[in-house]
Amino acid sequence: MLREIDPRLSARARDMLERGGLRRIATRWASREALEEALVARGLEPSAAVLEFEESFGGLVFSVGKDVFELGVQLPEEDEASEDDEDGDVESARSEEGQPPAEGGLVPCGTGWSREYDLLIGPSGAIYAAHARTCKRSSSALKLIEQLAMQWRLGSLRYTVRVRPPASAALAEALRLDPVHEATDACESWWEDADILMLQAHEPGDARRDMTFVCARRIERVTQVLEAARLGRDDAGFAISDREASRDVRKMGSPAPDGMPPPEQWQAHPEARRFRYDGGRETSGDVWVIGGPGHPRIEQYRVYKGKIREWSTFSDGGSFERSW
């Protein structure tokens, strides 16, 4: 099966596809010519990129973790297309309001993220994802699979640091991360080393564009991210999470947990370093690194409307996230 897929795919992408149960199901197009005729009949451009996409990826089904992807050009019947054009003008205009411009003549080419999103391909081969709105996702199907493979690797990394404002170029240099060329395009850029992955989204309309995501295996690497980002910008802000953390989620507006140390207490600790918390959505707060190299600990406070609403403790020995 894998020999039938574009040979330019990286070993990491091939591994993801194998582990994701890659299979190919039958498509409705008997030939390249049949698809070309169907596109023309519906007023869509039979571009080489669309035809080549179907030849290479049509009928592929695979999983990325819990998310299922199904690729392949799927066109409505001609009478259905006409009815959709007549009845959908108002809805289409509403859904596209305020969106960045997309290529004309988008062709449905599958579903992603367990059918939560429809996938579409433009005449250039760019892939779009549509849910409540339509956004460019990758410059090609090949890039999409490579980027999914990078996201798949994130599952092996414990900590996520969101850095605002974006600082990917400075962080890549300071942390000596290697660019991942096969997964990088005009939509996303990726960097890595043995225990860090970094993502920067670029596309207008992408909610991830206003921050840099850095995922790390160890808490000491997290502290290096904080130091490197602040060295580059005085206004750097951070929000940290740990996928392995224990969580105590209480009703919003509940009192703070008993025994919560006030943020200012940590400044009395030797080698304590304070950073600015920025989780977006009008939040502020403090991020304190306690202890020197080797076994650091992080205490994070999220403030909303003048009150502390989250307090988290992060360490390789065990993390605890509390919200109220």
Which of 103, 128, 147 is the last residue in one of the domains? Answer: 147
* Domain span including residue 274: 156-323
pLDDT at residue 99, rounded to an integer: 52
CA distance 71 to 140: 13
Judgement on whether residues 169 and 267 belong to the same structural domain of the protein:
yes
Give the three-class secondary structure for 181.
helix
58-60-6 Cα angle (round to 5): 75
Judgement on whether residues 253 and 289 belong to the same structural domain of the protein:
yes
Judgement on whether residues 97 and 172 belong to the same structural domain of the protein:
no
Judgement on whether residues 102 and 168 belong to the same structural domain of the protein:
no
Which of 147, 164, 183 is the last residue in one of the domains? Answer: 147
Judgement on whether residues 108 and 178 belong to the same structural domain of the protein:
no
Judgement on whether residues 141 and 160 belong to the same structural domain of the protein:
no
Judgement on whether residues 135 and 251 belong to the same structural domain of the protein:
no
Q: Which among 178, 220, 313 is positioned nearest to 259, based on CA atoms? A: 313
What lies within 8 Å, CB to CB, of 31 at 6+ separation is: none
With a cut of 50, say whether residue 91 has pLDDT above it. no
Alpha helix (H) ranges present in the chain?
A: 11-19, 32-41, 48-57, 78-87, 89-96, 141-154, 168-174, 219-232
Judgement on whether residues 213 and 240 belong to the same structural domain of the protein:
yes
Q: Contact at 8 Å (CB) between 223 and 289?
A: yes
Using one digit for the tens of pLDDT, what is the confidence trace for 45-66?
Answer: 999 999 999 999 999 999 999 9
More confident residue, 77 or 48: 48
For residue 126, the Cα-to-chain-centroid distance in whole angstroms is 17
Using one digit for the tens of pLDDT, what is the confidence trace for 184-206?
Answer: 999 999 999 999 999 999 998 78
Which of 102, 117, 147 is the last residue in one of the domains? Answer: 147
Q: Which among 137, 145, 170, 117 is positioned nearest to 13, based on CA atoms? A: 145
CA distance 284 to 303: 5
Judgement on whether residues 296 and 268 belong to the same structural domain of the protein:
yes
pLDDT at residue 89, rounded to an integer: 42
317 phi and psi, to 5 degrees? -75, -10
Q: Compute the half-sphere exposure of residue 94: CA atoms within 13 Å on the CB side of its CA.
A: 6
Judgement on whether residues 89 and 226 belong to the same structural domain of the protein:
no
Q: Contact at 8 Å (CB) between 219 and 297?
A: yes
Judgement on whether residues 143 and 161 belong to the same structural domain of the protein:
no
Quote the number of domains for the chain.
Answer: 2
pLDDT at residue 283, rounded to an integer: 95
pLDDT-derived band at 178 (thresholds 50, 70, 90) equals very high
State pTM to two decimals. 0.89
Q: Compute the half-sphere exposure of residue 79: CA atoms within 13 Å on the CB side of its CA.
A: 0
Q: Which among 174, 287, 282 is positioned nearest to 232, based on CA atoms? A: 174
Judgement on whether residues 138 and 206 belong to the same structural domain of the protein:
no
> Region 7-34: what's the mean pLDDT?
94
pLDDT at residue 96, rounded to an integer: 43
CA distance 178 to 181: 9
What lies within 8 Å, CB to CB, of 162 at 6+ separation is: 211, 212, 213, 238, 239, 240, 279
Using one digit for the tens of pLDDT, what is the confidence trace for 132-160?
Answer: 889 999 999 999 999 999 999 999 999 99
> Region 164-177: what's the mean pLDDT?
97
168-141-24 Cα angle (round to 5): 135
Q: Percentage of residues in the chain with pLDDT exceeding 90?
A: 81
Using one digit for the tens of pLDDT, what is the confidence trace for 240-276?
Answer: 999 999 999 999 989 999 999 999 999 999 889 999 9
CA distance 304 to 148: 34
Using one digit for the tens of pLDDT, what is the confidence trace for 99-132?
Answer: 556 778 999 999 999 999 999 999 999 999 999 8
